[in-house]
Structures are given as C-alpha cells and as structure tokens.
Structure 1
C-alpha cells in the first residue's frame, strides 16, 4: 500500500489535472476522517450504487457537484494549501450535495441552492475552524450541518423549492412499545448495521454500506472495524431504548455513532483498551443525543444530519483527557491534519 501511495504521489506530481482529482477524492474520504484518495473514490462509487439502486441518481450527481463547488471555492479564496491538499475543504460540500436532492425536489432553483450551499460550506468551514482553533478541536461536519439547516429551512419560504421527504413540522411523539425493535433478528441486525454506515452519506442501502467498509479498510483497518462496531452498537442501543423499528432498520440511528466511534477510537486518539472504552461511551451517548435532537428538530421539520456526532465528539475532545493522542499537525486555519 505504501508503494502504491508513493507511486500515486509521483504521478499526481506530474499533472495538475490529476492533482485536482486527488484533492477531490481526498475530500470525499475526509467525510469519515480518512485522508486517502482511493477511500474517497470508493465512497463515491458507493454513493452512485445506492442512488441508482434507489432509482434516483440526483443525490450522486449532487454529491459530486457539491464536492467540486466547495473545493473550487477554497481554491478561489486561496485557502491554506495543506488543508486543501488533504481534502479538508471538500467533505462538507459533498454532504451538502447529497443532502439537498435527498430532501428537496430538484429543479433549477434547487440546483442553484445546492451550488450556493456547497460554496458557503467552505466559508463556514473557515469560520468554524477559526472559532474552534483556540480550543484545539476540529470543525468536523458542523459546517455541513449549519449550512444545510439553512438550505432546507429556506424551502418552507420559497415556492420554487418544493419539499420532498422532509417534514412536515410536528411535535415529537414517542413510538409505542410495539414499534420498538425488541425482536431484533440476525438479518435485521446485519442489514441495519450496514445501512447505518451508508447513511453517513444519506444513502439507505446495505450494499453501499459494505462498499464504505471496504473503502475504510483501504485506509485504516481500525476505522473499518470501528465503523462496524459503532453501527452495531447503535442498532442494539436504539432497540434497547425502544426507538422506532423503521428508523433503526433504515440506519437512522447509526450514522452519527459510526463517525463518533471512528473519531474517538482511532483518529484523535491512538487505539488502546482505555481509548476503546472511551470511544464506546461516546458512541452510546451519540445514540441518546441522536434521539434528543430528533425530538428537538421535529417541530421545525428538518433533519438532524450529523449534529449528534459533532456535539458528542466536541464534548469528548474538549476535556483533554489523559489518553495518548495521535500526532497531528495544526495548520493555519485551525484544522488538524495527520503528519
């Protein structure tokens, strides 16, 4: 793998076009905190597979458009070169691009909204990174969450932005005991586990989840294993707490715990048994925060996106606990990149 990486670095060093491809692919990989172009490519393949399987290619197209728009915005703003080359200005944009077609009916106005939102996600990345830099924590996907909350809320005010599956605003109602996933079969557990991983990119497809695990395995076996563990814990935990069986089966309690498990388990701390327990606690708490945020945003009629992951990971990084961190190199805009 190191030989392949060295070969790829040599190739892209000779071609500006390939360097641009590399930056965009790394941007896709950074959604799950992986600085690896092959991982990013497999993520995009997984998105395309899931979108085509659902009979709706627009989320896949939107994801690519959003990735390009966010990255080009960073280049036009002459943002930090190291951050740019590590793909740190692309991952929020690809999520914005996947989210808008998922929740809105696409037309000229919605595509305009998507491009504007993806570009603004780069501005939000710079802004949030500036705010979090003194605290020594990364922006994570909060720029995506903040920007896309504004985008989808705007649909309630503009007639040319018809709403798809989002809403309507309503007061939260706890599912009855019959709706909870108490009888969790092995088949449902397996399917929900991989759907939880695929939902990181707002794709509801088990095969896409398998592709995402393979993508993580290319970059980090630890990340791949933690993604599976995080999603499995989310299914078991949400079921034990009596969450909606439909939401559990669709992986809607899995995507934030997956990201939390990866972030705390192997990205910001060096894996050990103490780190494993710390990450497990964060992963379980992500399930609870996911449920709390579901209730909080229900009256507004918008999705939570990855807010639970962001808030829990920030909460667990801020205390500067006595765990061995990975070595990171701070760059000028406060974003952290691996050495």
Structure 2
C-alpha cells in the first residue's frame, strides 16, 4: 500500500513538473515571438525613417552637397552651380529641382532648353572669371538672370527656332547680367534688398532696343499694348481657369504647355511644399482677379507697348521691391537677404530666434 502511494505521488509530481516545464516553454516561446514581433516592428519603423530621411535628403537647399562638391572636378561643380541657377528663377536653390526644370523645358521646347542652358552656364562662367563671391557663384545667384535673358531672346525672336545666330547675343546678354548684378548689388545692399531680376530686365531691354524688328540676323516681334481688359463672364470656363493656374507657374520659364508646367511645379514642390503652395496661390489670384502686380503689369505693358517693348517682369520686380521696403509691423517678419533659405527652414529659424530672444529677455528681467 505504501508502495502504491509512493508511485501515485511520483506520478502527480511528474505531471506537475511536466506542466511547469511546458508552461515555461510556452511562455518562452511567447516571449520569443513577442520579441521577434517587436524587433520586426522596429525594423519597419527604422526602414520607414530611413526612406523618409532619404527623401528629405534631396529636398530644401541641399547644403550637404556643397561640402561633397568641394574636391570634385570643375566641370561637375559648374553643372551643380548651373542647376542651382536654374532654380533661382523660381526663388529655389536645389540642383535636383533644376534638373527637373531643364527636363520640362526640353519637353516643351528643346531650342528654349538649349538657350536657357547656354545662358546659365555663360553667366556663371563669367562670374567665375570676374572673381565674384564664391558663395554667390556656387549658390547660382549669377546664373538665373543669364538664363532668363537667353530664353526671352528666343521667345521674342521672329526668326523661329534653331536660329543659330541667336547664340551670340544670348551669350553676350548673359555675360552682361553679371556686370549689372555686381554693379547693382552694392547699391541695393544698403537697404538689404535683393538684386532679383533687375539685370535680366535691363539686359533684355537693351537687346530689343539695339536690334529692332527688322534686323537681318536678330529680328524680334513688336510688343503691342495690352489695352483695356475684356470682361466676358459668360464665356468663363472653370476647367480653363483651373488649367491656367499651373500654366501661370510654367510661364515663369516662358512655358505655355500644361505637362511641362506641372513638372516645373513638381520641381518647386520638391524644394519646398510651402513655396509650391504660394506659387499656386499667386497664380490663382492672378488668374481669377487682377491684384496689385497684375494691374502694374497691365499698366507697364501699355506704356512699353507704345514703343514696341514688352513689360517683361518689371511689374513683379518693382512691386516685390516696394513690399520689401515697407516699414511697420510687416518689417518685423523680414529675414535678412543673406539668411534666406527654404520657407520651411526660415520658419524654423525664426522660431528658434524668437525663443532665444524670449529666454534672453527673461534672464535679464529683474
């Protein structure tokens, strides 16, 4: 009898031990599975972060690229400087956006793309030869005016595309922009104003005045006064109005096709979503209702059209300059020209600046 009790106790203890071992193994397996799931979740999160970081690597001003290009061959550096100059036309500073814009121009008109490339490279090389500030050259500040001059020469030319004679004034006009830029910069710096596209407007005016519509090599179309605005709301189509908004962005590069204009807008979006939103907003306002700059453009078109000259971008340049000269509460939000970067970066910098000022003021309070 005692032997049977001992055997029964042994069996009970054996079952208990087996149950404990099984539970421990199951718990261990659950812990291992949980750990694997957690590790997989972390891996997915880290992968997503790496992808996002990789995408952000190509947005904004891409300052890291400047350090990478310091020891590269001059030809590669010139290409990057030129692409930055392309984007300076739209107030951006991103070489990848510049490549997208050049692709859009090739899509719309290979001849215009060739003229623009010639202009930006000629003006950039001229700035290098003249010994202009290295930071300005590498930032594309001496390229965009030359690009605009070359492209607008092609737009106003009445000889059609592939007029190879036009490459000569395009090169000379682009180089002239560098001289005008270096002359205007010391004057405008007194009021912390950008040179903007003043060189482009001056250079294209001089070219059109010197050649005339009947020049045997460089003829151009005569501009006509805009006249009174014709308001015909009965024929206003919503589709055409919406189509005109992205086309307004493309018109910055004298591009009138919808597809290339959308690609240009995508290049702006790559650099800064805020800048892209403002570009669409400005184009929409100009399309739906003529505000200050649109009225100024009409007035200048009528004035210049009397002598056969286009208004170019004088209206936007003058209005923007006057806005920057405003005093009062609006001037508090102005960023010094030398510190201007992408809108997102400007917002972060201003918040940090305001926070620093607040801490400094609180620390000095008695």
Q: Which residue of structure 2 lines up, in the alignment, with residue 78 of structure 1?
A: 131
Task: Please state how far the C-alpha of 1:2 moved relative to its aligned partner.
Answer: 4.5
Change (3 A) 1:6 1:87: closer
Task: Please state how far the C-alpha of 1:14 moved relative to its aligned partner.
Answer: 3.7
Aligned alpha-carbon RMSD (Å): 2.3
Give 2:70's match in structure 1, choosing from 6, 10, 13.
13
Q: Which residue of structure 2 lines up, in the alignment, with residue 28 of structure 1?
A: 86
Judge conservation of contact 1:47–1:203 (CA < 8 Å) in 2: yes
Judge conservation of contact 1:109–1:160 (CA < 8 Å) in 2: no
Flag structure 2 segments of 5+ consecutive residues without an equivalent: 1-54, 347-366
Give 1:102's match in structure 2, choosing from 148, 155, 172.
155
Change (3 A) 1:42 1:25: same
Mean alpha-carbon deviation: is it higher for 20-29 or for 127-136? 127-136
Distance 1:316 1:36 in 2: 26
Change (3 A) 1:153 1:182: farther
Change (3 A) 1:160 1:322: same
Superposed, 1:117-266 pairs within 5 Å as 117-156=173-212, 159-164=215-220, 166-167=221-222, 173-177=227-231, 180=232, 183-238=235-290
Judge conservation of contact 2:226–2:298 (CA < 8 Å) in 1: no
Q: Which residue of structure 1 lines up, in the alignment, with residue 6 of structure 2?
A: none
Distance 1:72 1:222 in 2: 32
Change (3 A) 1:120 1:182: farther
1:298 pairs with 2:356: no
1:59 pairs with 2:108: no
Give 2:333's match in structure 1, choosing from 325, 333, 337.
325
Judge conservation of contact 1:83–1:337 (CA < 8 Å) in 2: no
Deviations 1:4-32 (A, max 9, x none): 44764454234133222111111011111
Q: Which residue of structure 2 lines up, in the alignment, with residue 43 of structure 1?
A: 101
**Higher relative contact order by CA 8 Å / sep ≥ 6: 1 or 2?**
1
Distance 2:140 2:304 in 1: 30
Change (3 A) 1:182 1:137: farther
Task: Please state how far the C-alpha of 1:153 moved relative to its aligned partner.
Answer: 2.1
TM-score, length basis structure 1: 0.76
Judge conservation of contact 1:125–1:143 (CA < 8 Å) in 2: yes
| Displaced runs of 4 or more, over 6 A | none
Judge conservation of contact 1:89–1:122 (CA < 8 Å) in 2: yes
**Structure with larger Rg:** 2
Flag structure 1 segments of 5+ consecutive residues without an equivalent: 52-56, 239-283, 331-335
Mean alpha-carbon deviation: is it higher for 98-107 or for 32-41? 98-107
Deviations 1:232-258 (A, max 9, x none): 1111014xxxxxxxxxxxxxxxxxxxx
Change (3 A) 1:328 1:7: same
Change (3 A) 1:34 1:319: same
The structure with the greater share of residues assigned to helix is 2
Mean alpha-carbon deviation: is it higher for 223-232 or for 297-306? 297-306
Q: Which residue of structure 2 lines up, in the alignment, with residue 313 of structure 1?
A: 320
Judge conservation of contact 1:67–1:94 (CA < 8 Å) in 2: yes
Task: Please state how far the C-alpha of 1:160 moved relative to its aligned partner.
Answer: 2.6
